[in-house]
Amino acid sequence: MNDNASTRVVVTGLGAVSALGHDVPSLWTNLLAGQSGIDRVAHFDATEYASQIGAEVRDWDVNQHMDPKEARRNDRYTHFGFVAAKQAVKDSGLNVTAENGDRVGVMIGSGIGGMHTYESQLKVLAERGPRKVSPFTIPALIGNMCSGLVAIEHGARGPNFGLVSACASGAHALGEAAHAIRRGDADVMIAGGSEAAITPFAYASFCSMKAMSTRNDSPRTASRPFEKNRDGFVMGEGAGVMVLESLEHARNRGARIYCELAGYAATCDAFHITQPDPEGKGLSLAMTRALAAAGIKPEEIDYINAHGTSTPYNDKFETLAIKKVFGEHARRLAVSSTKSMTGHLLGAAGGVESVICVKTLETGMLAPTINLVEPDPECDLDYVPNAARRWPVRAVLSNNLGFGGQNASMVFRAV
């Protein structure tokens, strides 16, 4: 069945777990205050690593949110997504029943999946032998398990899978969930991204790529998107999940509607496994198609939540792509990278940043790009430097890019 263009998809519930708070209100408050969630890594001894900093979810007790027995059987990435989904469902007021469960689906993406489980069980294998490896290892580490567990918790029997597209996973999950609603496969989708990859092996791997910031003496100023002296991304962890519904379904049940997910597009650079296209062609195409899908003109976008990773290549190429798509309007709209505060949540980035976009529309406030002291001459747009701003917002766009050249753009607007 093809998408029904007349079916409008709206956001009715929000949930988030991040280094800036274990729920959406605390995340949003800290973002507007320009707070950084980045500090020295506490999960493991990182003194021998080139990068020793991260945006960890601290003071976290999953047993407060999840049955302890179930928690032990699942990975930290699943814990985050499970809790964010529970928040989003509660926020939406949705009641999933035996009668409507067939029309409710789940799509929660993860770029890496159960890395904690992978590493801990490899250690068990090496030190204690194959018979001591947990029988829950495979279910815990696979990237679709968060979606499966959320469905079990809520009785959601509709479309269900995990999407993997590196750092675009959460955004793609939301966009494809919206397509599922427009196709008529579901009335409601619980969708977003979750990630927990602050582990020794993941850090060693990213450090070997020289992709992460080594500003270890000043963690809170290490993530500096669009800044001249940026030196790499800072890893974060957490989850962002939303409840999406058809507008008709949301109105029929009297739901509070935040906004509309009006447009979405996915493209590929087909250029390089880690480096973005230097001409920004793939991202430009994604933004152009997302705007077309939403049926709005470029000049109607007031704010862009940029991918903005604080890496040398991404920030200048994303800036170039924005200029290509928006022309002179690029100088009038506001752009910010909230990764300057949350760190880069990899596959969860699109989920958390979409939640931020929704809060931007709801409140008319823009979260800043902190640590923007000396802008890169090639990054010459309005990046909302260092302080939150009140701003007239009609429609916003969110970008996420992933290794492999994958791009995702989404447009949110007021209903």
Q: What is the mean pLDDT of residues 147-159?
A: 98
C-alpha 155/C-alpha 372 separation (Å) is 45
Residue 6's pLDDT is what?
Answer: 85
Q: Is 167 a catalytic residue?
A: yes
Residue 1, pLDDT above cutoff 70: no
The catalytic position among 22, 146, 167, 379 is: 167
Q: Which domains does the chain have, with CATH numbers?
A: 10-252 (3.40.47.10), 264-410 (3.40.47.10)
- C-alpha–C-alpha distance, residues 176 and 377, integer Å: 36
Closest by CA to 202, choosing from 193, 214, 211, 192, is: 211
Which residues make Cβ contacts (< 8 Å) with residue 113, sequence separation at least 6?
Answer: 75, 77, 141, 142, 143, 145, 162, 164
pLDDT of 210 over the 90 cut: yes
Mean pLDDT value of segment 351-367: 98
CB 60 within 8 A of CB 18: no
Q: What is the pLDDT of residue 2?
A: 60
Both structure tokens of 67? 């049955």
- pLDDT band (50, 70, 90) for residue 256: very high
Which DSSP helix (H) or strand (E) runs through 144? none
One-letter amino acid of 92: S
Q: Is the pTM of this model over 0.95?
A: yes
| DSSP bridge partners of 217 | none
Q: How many CB atoms lie within 10 A of CB 117?
A: 26
CB 263 within 8 A of CB 357: no
Check: CB of residue 38 under 8 Å from CB of residue 53.
yes
Say whether 22 is catalytic. Answer: no
Provide the percentage of residues in the chain whose pLDDT is more than 90: 98
Is 379 a catalytic site residue? no
How far is it, in rounded angstroms, from Cα 33 to Cα 387? 8
Per-residue pLDDT tens digits for 25-82: 999 999 999 999 999 999 999 999 999 999 999 999 999 999 999 999 999 999 999 9
DSSP string covering 235-247, please?
BB-EEEEEEEEEH
